[in-house]
């Protein structure tokens, strides 16, 4: 029965995206029908999606024999995976109501959206793992920090909604599900520090590679990443000095995340332009052995 069944990394990613989508639609349904929100349902859907995505990344990593961060499709999958991983850690620990709904929404956008542009999943030449160890660590840490900044922007959106609701004396629909403004503000601060530390570490590891091979690091990529880092460092400094707080802090965090995401695309475009055209079929579609009888 299973002999003709092959599970490719893309199909696993698709199942994960569907599960995140199911979580998002569950949240939408709760908002529409005004019924009680079950954390267990949301958590289970996201956990299921996360496990599938981990499997997908593992299959893709085996195929390319490296950390799968070589094209925009993989980056989108990795970012979605980081977001969900963070939610699975932060969600139960801090019990931030409805964070799962927002995380599911952004992860669906990233992971399912990546399927809508087939050109994103182009074939690339992967170097051997040993040679690329530093740069892979740099890339993985950088993208994981972007995941933290993604979650920070979601928390900021939740803060703005709750704050607006309180100012406008709104008390039903989404407002009743969201955590308090103080909880959200505190979480935003923690995420900002965590993300900044990780991005700083990523830049340090990247610098090791840069010092070794100055020519191979694109100037645009270096500038964009440094700008993102500088942006978050500025937000952090201003926040510590109580110059950029609450509403303005939330808006700045969302704006900078959009900039960070936007800067990823030209970086990848430049990278793909440098690669030789292959025209080959996707080598990353690795079939999984069907269970034998």
- Residue burial 130-168, b: 16+ Cβ < 10 Å; e: rest: eebeebbbbbbbbbbbbbbbbbbbbbbbbbbbbbebeee
For other proteins, what does the binding mask look like between residues 218 and 247, x meaning CB under 8 A? ------------------------x--xxx
Instruction: Write the CA distances from 111 to 11, 14, 61, 192, integer angstroms.
Output: 12, 8, 17, 24
Q: How far is the CB of 291 from other proteins (least distance, A)?
A: 43
**Rounded CA gap, 47 and 55, in Å?**
12
Q: How far is the CB of 96 from other proteins (least distance, A)?
A: 10
Choose which of 29, 34, 173, 208 interacts with other proteins (CB under 8 A): 34
Q: How many CB atoms sit inside 10 A of residue 33's CB? A: 8
Q: How far is the CB of 215 from other proteins (least distance, A)?
A: 46
| Phi, psi (rounded to 5 degrees) for 74 | -65, -40
The answer to the question of residue 171 lying near other proteins (CB under 8 A) is yes
* Window contacting other proteins (CB under 8 A); options: 11-19, 31-39, 130-138, 215-223: 31-39
For the chain, the residue count is: 293
CB 42 within 8 Å of CB 23: yes
**Rounded CA gap, 194 and 191, in Å?**
5
| Cβ-based nearer residue to other proteins, 189 or 271 | 189
Choose which of 53, 162, 253, 284 interacts with other proteins (CB under 8 A): 162
| Cβ-based nearer residue to other proteins, 57 or 184 | 184
Q: How far is the CB of 245 from other proteins (least distance, A)?
A: 4
* Location of structure tokens 């989508």: 21
**Rounded CA gap, 149 and 156, in Å?**
10
- End-to-end Cα spacing for the chain: 9
Size of site (CB under 8 A) for other proteins: 22
Instruction: Write the CA distances from 28 to 21, 71, 100, integer angstroms.
Output: 10, 31, 12
Type and span of the H or E element at 62? helix 39-64
For other proteins, what does the binding mask look like between residues 254 and 283, x meaning CB under 8 A? ------------------------------
| Cβ-based nearer residue to other proteins, 36 or 276 | 36
For other proteins, what does the binding mask look like between residues 176 and 215, x meaning CB under 8 A? --xxxxxx-x------------------------------
| Cβ-based nearer residue to other proteins, 158 or 286 | 158
For other proteins, what does the binding mask look like between residues 113 and 152, x meaning CB under 8 A? ----------------------------------------
| CA-based nearest residue to 58, from 13, 115, 109 | 13
Q: How far is the CB of 47 from other proteins (least distance, A)?
A: 25
CA 217, 193, 198, 151 torsion-angle sign: negative
Binding site for other proteins (CB under 8 A): 34-36, 162, 165-167, 169, 171-172, 175, 178-183, 185, 242, 245-247
């Amino acid at each position: 029965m299973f002999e003709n069944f092959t599970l490719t990394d893309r199909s696993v990613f698709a199942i994960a995206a569907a599960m995140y989508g199911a979580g998002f639609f569950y949240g939408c349904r709760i908002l529409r029908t005004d019924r009680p929100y079950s954390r267990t349902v949301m958590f289970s859907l996201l956990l299921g999606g996360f496990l599938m995505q981990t499997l997908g990344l593992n299959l893709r990593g085996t195929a390319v024999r490296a950390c799968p961060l070589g094209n925009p499709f993989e980056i989108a999958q990795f970012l979605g995976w980081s977001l969900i991983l963070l939610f699975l850690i932060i969600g139960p620990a801090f019990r931030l109501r409805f964070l799962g709904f927002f995380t599911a929404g952004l992860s669906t956008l990233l992971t399912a959206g990546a399927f809508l542009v087939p050109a994103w999943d182009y074939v690339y030449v992967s170097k051997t793992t040993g040679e690329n160890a530093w740069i892979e660590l740099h890339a993985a840490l950088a993208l994981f920090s972007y995941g933290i900044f993604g979650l920070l922007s979601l928390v900021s959106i939740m803060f703005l909604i709750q704050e607006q609701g309180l100012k406008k004396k709104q008390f039903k629909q989404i407002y009743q599900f969201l955590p308090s403004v103080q909880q959200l503000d505190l979480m935003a601060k923690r995420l900002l520090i965590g993300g900044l530390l990780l991005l700083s570490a990523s830049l340090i590891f990247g610098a090791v590679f840069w010092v070794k091979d100055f020519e191979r690091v694109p100037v645009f990529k270096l500038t964009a990443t440094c700008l993102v880092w500088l942006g978050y460092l500025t937000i952090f400094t201003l926040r510590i000095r109580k110059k950029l707080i609450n509403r303005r802090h939330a808006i700045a965090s969302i704006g900078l995340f959009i900039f960070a995401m936007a800067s990823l695309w030209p970086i990848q475009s430049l990278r793909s332009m440098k690669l030789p055209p292959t025209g080959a079929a996707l080598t990353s579609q690795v079939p999984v052995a069907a269970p034998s009888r």
